[in-house]
Copies of this chain bind each other. A is one copy, B any other.
Amino acid sequence: MRNIDLLISARWILPIAPENTVLENYALAVNKDKIIDLLPLDAAKEQYYAEQYLEFPDHVIMPGLVNSHTHTPMNLFRGLADDLPLMDWLNNHIWPAEGALINAESVRAGTQLAIAEMLRGGTTCFNDNYFFPDITASAAIETGMRVVAGNVIMSVPTKWAADEAGYFTRAEAILRDFTPHPLVTWTITPHAPYTVSDDSFKKVREISEKHNLPVHLHLHETSFECEQSAKEFGVRPIARLQKLGLINEKLIAVHMVDVNAQEMEVIAKAGASVVHCPESNLKLASGFAPVAEYLKHGINVALGTDGAASNNDLDMFGELRTAAMIAKAVSSNPTSVPAHEALKMATLNGAKAIGLGDKIGSLEKNKQADFIAIDLSSYLTQPIFNPLSSLAYAANRLQVSDVWIAGKRLLKNGEFTRLDTKKIVAEAKVWAEKAREFEA
Contacts and interface: CB of A to CB of B under 8 A. Distances in A.
B393 A288 contact: no
Interface stretch (A43-51, A80-88, A355-363): A80-88
Given A379-B425, A383-B432, A79 B283 contact: no
A310 B300 CA distance: 28
A281 B117 contact: no
Contact of A82 (B85, B339, B382, B398): B339
A396 B394 contact: no
Interface string A297-319: 00000000000100111010010
Interface stretch (A8-16, A145-153, A231-239, A327-335): A327-335
A164 interface: no
Interface in A106-150: 113, 116-117, 120
A329 B281 contact: yes
Number of copies: 2
A380 B432 contact: no
A408 interface: no
B393 A396 contact: no
B82 A285 contact: no
A377 interface: yes
A286 interface: yes
A86 B393 CA distance: 17
Interface stretch (A32-40, A246-254, A259-267, A384-392): A384-392
A279 interface: yes
A287 B86 contact: no
A203 interface: no
Nearest to A121: B380
Question: Residue among A82, A381, A421 with the most chain B CB within 10 A?
Answer: A82
Contacts of A398: 396, 398
Nearest to A419: B379
B385 A432 contact: yes
Nearest to A430: B383
Contacts of A313: 380, 393-394
Given A80-B385, A379-B424, A382-B78, A393 B328 contact: no
A313 B379 CA distance: 11
A183 interface: no
Given A79-B385, A282-B328, A283-B325, A380 B312 contact: no
The 5 closest A-B pairs by CB, nearest first: A383-B432, A83-B338, A282-B325, A79-B389, A312-B393
21 contacts: A89-B334, A113-B382, A282-B325, A284-B328, A285-B328, A285-B329, A285-B331, A285-B332, A285-B336, A287-B329, A377-B425, A379-B424, A382-B425, A382-B429, A383-B428, A383-B429, A384-B432, A385-B432, A385-B435, A385-B439, A396-B398
